Amino acid sequence: MSGLLLLIVMFIITFYYMRRAKLPYIRRVPALDAIEEGIGRAAEMGRPVIASPGIAASGIDYWTVGALSILAHVARLCARNGLRLLVPLGGSEQSYTLVEVARDLVDSQYRLEGVPERFDINDMPFLSGRQFAWASAYVGMLMRERPAVDVMVGHQWASAMYMSEVAKEVGCFQISGTTYLSNIACLAVSSDYIMIGEEMVAAGAYLSREPAQLASIRTQDIIKAVMIVVLVVGIVALAFGSDIVKVILST
């Protein structure tokens, strides 16, 4: 019952923030400044940019939507600076659902910047539906094209460390963000900037300015704050011999 009540409260809060005229405030994630810095570096060096929205292990989910918003930002900057953008797609059986969405998204950014002729669909190949086959092909692109910047976000699993190390070897300025918490420490070692956990989703919401994304971020922050308060109250209550919070949460 408490779980259902929490879900209802989350829906109400999210809907409230979606309908408000003033959108919730979300701070700018430092990694976004790093992306702009990296794009500027690529323009100075005359080398391409490579970006991955992840392997979409669960299809186009909450995390992948955030990654696509970041990809759109990268595409817009590349179009504005006349840079070639490489987006190797694949990595899971579910990643087939991402292909056309990502291609249309990047194409639209080039059109918005007034340079539709610079978009090349061949720079967004579907490499493989298998994680390590995709990663090997991704690494091959890194070694052949030697991009100046590598942006890896979204669902990045065990193959991410392999790709990240090769990107570092070819001289990439690297920005990473992953939903796979076990990978964060590894990527932090090889990346110049990293988005930890939900920072990636917050960055995507900040860029897209979509009311639904911004509202969901604010709802999560509120629920987390409430849970922390409940936890502290529960600990204090237990210290005085009362288990009322435990009883309420278990109903």
pLDDT digits (tens, 9 = 90+) for 108-159: 999 999 999 999 999 999 999 999 999 999 999 999 999 999 999 988 888 8
pLDDT of residue 19 exceeding 80, the answer is no
As a dihedral over the C-alpha atoms of residue 125, residue 131, residue 137, residue 138, rounded to 10 degrees, the angle is 80
> What's the angle, vertex CA 184, arms to CA 71 and CA 39, rounded to 5?
35
**What is the Cα–Cα distance from 120 to 98, expressed in whole angstroms?**
17
Q: Half-sphere exposure of residue 166, counting CA atoms within 13 Å on the CB side?
A: 19
The bridge status of strand 85-86 relative to strand 49-52 is parallel
> Strand, helix or coil at 88?
coil
- Name the β-bridge partners of 177: 195
Q: Half-sphere exposure of residue 13, counting CA atoms within 13 Å on the CB side?
A: 19
pLDDT of residue 230 exceeding 60, the answer is yes
**What is the Cα–Cα distance from 152 to 173, expressed in whole angstroms?**
11
pLDDT of residue 1 exceeding 60, the answer is no
In this prediction, residue 251 carries a pLDDT of: 66
**What is the Cα–Cα distance from 133 to 130, expressed in whole angstroms?**
5
18 or 68: whose pLDDT is higher? 68
Residue 204's pLDDT band (boundaries 50, 70, 90)?
confident
Residue 113: other Cβ atoms inside 10 A = 18
In this prediction, residue 173 carries a pLDDT of: 95
In this prediction, residue 31 carries a pLDDT of: 86
In this prediction, residue 2 carries a pLDDT of: 61
Q: What integer is the mean pLDDT of 2-21? A: 73
In this prediction, residue 211 carries a pLDDT of: 80
Residue 206's pLDDT band (boundaries 50, 70, 90)?
confident
Name the residue with tokens 């796979």. 180
Q: What integer is the mean pLDDT of 191-207? A: 86
As a dihedral over the C-alpha atoms of residue 115, residue 121, residue 127, residue 128, rounded to 10 degrees, the angle is 110
> What domains lie within the chain, and their CATH numbers?
2-23+212-250 (no CATH), 30-208 (3.40.50)
pLDDT of residue 13 exceeding 80, the answer is no
**CA 132 to mean position of chain CA atoms:** 20
69 or 215: whose pLDDT is higher? 69
pTM: 0.85
Residue 3's pLDDT band (boundaries 50, 70, 90)?
low
Average pLDDT, the chain: 88
Residue 200's pLDDT band (boundaries 50, 70, 90)?
confident
**What is the Cα–Cα distance from 201 to 67, expressed in whole angstroms?**
7
> What's the angle, vertex CA 181, arms to CA 206 and CA 37, rounded to 5?
45
182 or 113: whose pLDDT is higher? 113
| DSSP H helical ranges for the chain | 2-19, 30-45, 62-81, 96-112, 131-145, 159-169, 181-190, 199-208, 211-239, 244-250
